[in-house]
Structure 1
Amino acid sequence: MKIYLCQKGFRFITEILQGLLPDDEILDCLPEEIATKATDANVLIP
């Protein structure tokens, strides 16, 4: 599963999520990139 945290600068959150969901891809993006990333994402975390 591809999960996007829709804010940059919260590396600790992506690291926690990756530890809890090791089989999933945890990524981050800027708020203005959400529309582009949403086409490829399974989950968006605002």
Structure 2
Amino acid sequence: MNLIEAHKRSIEREKKKLGVSDYGLLWISFLRGAFVALIIERLIFH
């Protein structure tokens, strides 16, 4: 199985499960990354 094709299927499955568009999935990914960065920043610098 091609890794790229598996990744594309995984993204489509998550979009269907969450009921969002490509744009919505991008926002979810961005917010999740910002949240993780905030937690890491708090753990390291405070």
- Band of TM-score, shorter chain: 0.3 to 0.5
Structure (1/2) with the larger helix percentage:
2
State which structure, 1 or 2, has the greater radius of gyration over its C-alpha atoms: 2
